[in-house]
Amino acid sequence: MSLLLTAIGLVAIADASAPLAVKEFSDRYYFFKQQLVWALLGFFLMILFANIKYTFWRKLSTPFFIFSVLSLIIVLIPGIGESYLGARRWIVFGDITVQPSEMVKFSLCLYFAALSCTNAKVNSFLIPIFLIGFLIMLEPDLGTTLVILAIGLSQVFISGIGLVPFFILIITMSFLSLILTLTSDYRRERLMTFIKQTQDPLGKEYHIRQILLALGSGGAFGVGLGKSRQKYLFLPETATDSIFPIIAEEVGFIGASLIIFLFFLYFFRIIKIASHAPDTFSKIFTIGFAAWLGGQTFLNIGSMLAVVPLTGIPLPFISYGGSSLISILAASGIVLNISRHVKA
């Protein structure tokens, strides 16, 4: 399943980024080649991790988590963190660009899984969630913060916290998310655009209007591979956040529905592995990975379908980006190893 979704992503990236690649690079398939390298590295790690017993990661969970949190601090330092479109989310090492927030999703899944085996109190979970959320919001990146909350809350709930404290936690997190949205001009505009549509179709609503045009133009069977019109400067970030509308325009409702079905199939397969996990550590980790994959997929596709306010976040396996792809494939390798030890 990972191989199939990644292959779909490679084809989509080569297509969606073609106009941008022609303009900014001499190599038409620059983005495709970059993603292919990351995919090969990610699959290598997935195969490697699938053959390492999952209990090994419990020992490394704490140092890996501390390292990832430190990287979130480092990325905020001017001169080290790379800024793009008003956000400081990347660390550049020569030709290599790393996005620490993608790595922290992986480390949080492992850390909370290990923490769940120690009978830790609720505060031991809450402090890391608030710390990571605070650091990522400084970048700023609300979409990734919401995914972090989904990972943390799902793992906290499965670890055995009572329903009353859990619902209090949900209400608190929801209230804080609303505050973060209303205190930021561009996030508030996105929310109001979602609530009051058709108010400014050529201004604040332009992005979502172009997304809906791409989705509607595809019809049932699509306009054909490589024939998208919206990728030609109408949609921003066509190889990353907005890649799904380009796919839907070219393969239509049926093709786009098939891709969504593949994500559902993968998600429920992970849940099935979690339900038969051999111990607490493997169960909590797998649940965290399911929340990571499911939450990020929902936010990306949901915002593209105007089901939720527009949020900039990559589509797992498919959007362009090495940090995201490698992290997800590496975590998939651990889940594969867990699946070999499930209870009958």
Contact call for residues 65 and 111 (beta carbons, < 8 A)? yes
Determine the pLDDT at residue 23: 47
Determine the pLDDT at residue 315: 93
Q: For the beta carbon of residue 34, count every other beta carbon within 10 angstroms.
A: 18
What lies within 8 Å, CB to CB, of 129 at 6+ separation is: 148, 149, 152, 153
In this prediction, residue 191 has a pLDDT band, given cuts at 50, 70 and 90, of low
pLDDT at 24 over 60: no
What pTM was estimated for this model as a whole? 0.90
Report the chain's mean pLDDT, rounded to a whole number.
Answer: 84
- The single-letter code of the amino acid at 74 is I
Determine the Cα–Cα distance for residues 192 and 206; give it in Å rounded to an integer: 14
**Section 171-181 average pLDDT:** 74
Determine the pLDDT at residue 236: 78
pLDDT at 22 over 50: no
pLDDT at 185 over 80: no
pLDDT at 177 over 80: no
pLDDT at 19 over 80: no
137-161 pLDDT, tens digit per residue, is 888 888 898 899 999 989 988 877 7
What is the torsion angle, in degrees rounded to the nearest 10, for the CA atoms of residue 128, residue 336, residue 118 and residue 127?
10
25-83 pLDDT, tens digit per residue, is 445 677 888 899 999 999 999 999 999 999 999 999 999 999 999 999 998 888 787 77
Indicate the DSSP class of residue 305. Answer: T
**Section 298-307 average pLDDT:** 88
Vertex 88 angle, CA 319 and 313, to 5°: 25
Please tell me the least confidently modeled range out of 11-15, 152-156, 232-236: 232-236
Determine the Cα–Cα distance for residues 41 and 68; give it in Å rounded to an integer: 20
